[in-house]
Structure 1
Amino acid sequence: MRVAIAIDSLAGGGAEKVMLTLANEFTEMGHEPHFLVMTDDVAFDIPESLPVHVCFEKKDKDFNRFWNLAPAVAKLTNKIKQIESSVGKFDLFLSNLDKTNRLMTKTQVSPMFVVVHASVEEELSRHAKLGPFAFLKKLWAKKALNGHHLVTVSQGIADEIKRTKRIVPASIQCIYNPFGFDDITALSQQTPEGIPDSDYLIHIGRYVKQKRHDVLFQAIAQMESQIPVVLLCHNPKKALKAAKKYGVEQRVIIPGFQPNPFPWIANAKALVLSSDFEGLPTVLIESLACGTPVVSTNCPHGPSEILTGELTRFLVPRRDPKALATKLDEVLVSPPSLVDVDILAKVTAVRIAQEYLALVK
């Protein structure tokens, strides 16, 4: 099967990583994935066998236009036709992220499924605080999904869309994110430079408001333990400036983005997630696969679907630094057993790839 995966870029985010894992599994299964990236911005190591088609120049005014999408849609439609004339017709299109979705939903390509990676309502709430124009842009991006087939990466997102009725899709189903656990294990055994020799906690996430580094830093300040915290993020300068604001700059180690985070995770005492909202937080599952316990805010959506059974004691209310600090101290003293974690069997790459391929009836 020939599968087109459309996405804003391959610039290092969670959605991009998920789709790369899925594409690699499609290749392993003998299928032919192609990336349709809107702009040429790549942070990941892309296998030479994986075709990547850049659809717009970086400074293309049509692509970045908000009001009149017609020229960009026409360019994208023509680009897809050119690609198909060269490699053959695509059997399935998967569209990801708002900018791409706004265009792909107007191209008339079929069969197409839009993958929803995060809480719609939480994203809208966040943008409402940025002003009416920001909210309107985000709302229009979400409304573009009306009448289309949706795949959500957690059941919580699917339930939210059904409950709020802000989007009325043609269909909706949940397919978890895929994980290549053999690859994770192999990568976790590498020894990159910079990993601390002593104990540490780890936080992985872009330095954006959603990830709530401010809550994390307040929690660090309130912990009884003085264990350092490694931050893997794209903007070390901003992260360090915020750490200084909360008086914890001596407690954080910020090496910046790491193309292979798994040795850092595997050597940590625990991973912490302080987000206001997620879709299905990849880092939680990766941490459990590495044998590293996690402490997470019980944010919408995903953490409560990942941390089940004994692991639920390490779910804390969001925006509560004291509760987060308490559980971080607890996980250091009394870590949970990570034998037979339920979620890991549900998210193997081969299982998830089969679920995506089954979308084509």
Structure 2
Amino acid sequence: MPHSLPYRVLLVLPDAAAGGGHLMNMRLADQLTRRGWVVDIALLFDRNEHSDYRENFSRLRFISLHADRRLKRVLLPLRLARLAREYHLVLAGLDLAATNYGYLAARIAKRPFVSWMHIAFDEHSQFVPQFSRKLSLWIYRRLTHIVFPSRGARDSLERALDGQPPSAQWHIIDNFHEVGRSAAVTATPPAHVFSQPVVLSIGRLSAQKAYDRLIRIHASLRNKGAPHHLVILGEGPERVRLQALAAALRVSDSIFLPGHVSNPQPWLSAATVFALCSLYEGLPLVLIEALQAGLPVAAMACPAGPREILDDGETGILVPADDETALESAITRLLTNPALRATYAERGKRKADAYSPETIVPQWESLLGNLIRNTSAHEVVTSP
């Protein structure tokens, strides 16, 4: 059937949690809305409510389905399908619950469906219940269109599935960074934190981010006489364990965990080095933000994304995955060599230009627009 703008997209998320994947979904929905699309966000569960989204992305409509109880979970595909009939296309913004429920709803509603994967799935799914992993793999084998933020993320799913299904059409679209986009007002970082050079990292305090590595590296460097502070912006379930580790290594007074910061730009601008030590990623938005801010990066080459963002070590120091000794050496080089920091800062800013909305969002418009125009789905039913 012929279509004309505005195209209507239902973007499915499990919740409104803080995190890079969620933030990218908000940014994409906002960018498409600014370009004339209608993109509404269906939140499946009430957990992890992060109110900044509603404030910072006021153009967007959030639809809460409140499916936290068992009966509502059972009925969720039907409820979501009824909602999906009001849209031309269903986009699942994350893996697992969003993709599983979104796919079932789109099938029932006879709407085209796209899954957006933000993580190295093969590695990530080792930490989820076996039933969830098996269900997700069953669904991914049946999906036609999946979007990945990096080649590494694509390769990770291919490993999990033992190959790309013959009928699948997989797409790689990079994440993007919006300079000065945040509407949140952030207080100037405390001066005493930056009384020494700062190694900064940003992310959820979770096992995936492996911040115990940075704490051990920080303690080692301090013991070797390298004065600096470690700052990790973010919140999560690992806070108590990380604080206990810092206390055991006697570095509590030089490690700062300020919690979630809506606008990290002042911290990025004031820091000396950015470090990433995750077990796995997808295409870490924080690395792009660090490059754009001119902050030199030292990162482990975990699956997936750091190698692509840092161009195999051209735009930042890349060390082998899981190699704490190599990461400590890279951080030391950057802390002690201003000329090296300046070199990587310049290269990083040039690379960050490739991740602008003007470059990335038209790729999404082309993909989603073509799927909508080429589908023979039923007419959109608009609620009274």
Within the candidate set 70, 77, 80, 1:76 is matched to 80
Distance 1:220 1:283 in 2: 20
Contact 2:42 2:65 in 1 (8 A): yes
Question: Measured at CA, do residues 310 and 42 of structure 1 come closer, stay the same or move farther in structure 2, by a change above 3 Å?
Answer: closer
Distance 1:194 1:230 in 2: 11
Within the candidate set 56, 70, 76, 1:61 is matched to 70
Pair 1:253 & 2:249 matched: no
Contact 1:25 1:350 in 2 (8 A): no
Letter in 2 for 1:135: Q
Distance 1:239 1:43 in 2: 26
Distance 1:268 1:72 in 2: 45
Question: Measured at CA, do residues 30 and 72 of structure 1 come closer, stay the same or move farther in structure 2, by a change above 3 Å?
Answer: closer
Q: When the two structures are superposed, what TM-score results if normalisation uses the length of structure 2?
A: 0.81
Question: Measured at CA, do residues 209 and 349 of structure 1 come closer, stay the same or move farther in structure 2, by a change above 3 Å?
Answer: same
Residue 32 of structure 2 corresponds to which residue in structure 1?
A: 26
Distance 2:328 2:352 in 1: 27
Residue 348 (structure 1) shift: 1.1
Structure 1: any 5+ residue segments left out of the alignment?
Answer: 128-133
Letter in 2 for 1:338: A
Q: When the two structures are superposed, what TM-score results if normalisation uses the length of structure 1?
A: 0.86
Contact 1:116 1:152 in 2 (8 A): yes
Letter in 2 for 1:247: R
Residue 136 of structure 2 corresponds to which residue in structure 1?
A: 141
Letter in 1 for 2:344: S
Residue 192 of structure 1 corresponds to which residue in structure 2?
A: 188
Residue 101 of structure 1 corresponds to which residue in structure 2?
A: 99
Residue 331 of structure 1 corresponds to which residue in structure 2?
A: 334
Larger Cα-atom Rg = 2
Letter in 1 for 2:364: Y
Residue 131 of structure 1 corresponds to which residue in structure 2?
A: none
Within the candidate set 242, 266, 270, 2:269 is matched to 266
Residue 150 of structure 1 corresponds to which residue in structure 2?
A: 146
Which deviates more from structure 2 when the two are superposed, residues 1-10 or residues 338-347?
338-347
Residue 215 (structure 1) shift: 1.3
Contact 2:315 2:344 in 1 (8 A): no
Give the fraction of aligned pairs with identical amino acids, expressed as a percent.
23
Contact 1:95 1:104 in 2 (8 A): no
Letter in 2 for 1:287: A
Residue 10 of structure 1 corresponds to which residue in structure 2?
A: 16
Contact 2:123 2:156 in 1 (8 A): no
Within the candidate set 170, 180, 183, 1:172 is matched to 170
Question: Measured at CA, do residues 238 and 358 of structure 1 come closer, stay the same or move farther in structure 2, by a change above 3 Å?
Answer: same
Distance 1:114 1:126 in 2: 20
Residue 345 of structure 1 corresponds to which residue in structure 2?
A: 353
Deviations 1:239-271 (A, max 9, x none): 312322343322201111111112111111111
Contact 1:72 1:103 in 2 (8 A): yes
Which deviates more from structure 2 when the two are superposed, residues 249-258 or residues 336-345?
336-345
Question: Measured at CA, do residues 313 and 177 of structure 1 come closer, stay the same or move farther in structure 2, by a change above 3 Å?
Answer: closer
Task: Count matched residues.
Answer: 341
Distance 1:221 1:210 in 2: 21
Letter in 1 for 2:95: L
Contact 2:312 2:318 in 1 (8 A): no
Residue 117 of structure 1 corresponds to which residue in structure 2?
A: 118
Distance 2:50 2:83 in 1: 20
Distance 2:72 2:268 in 1: 37
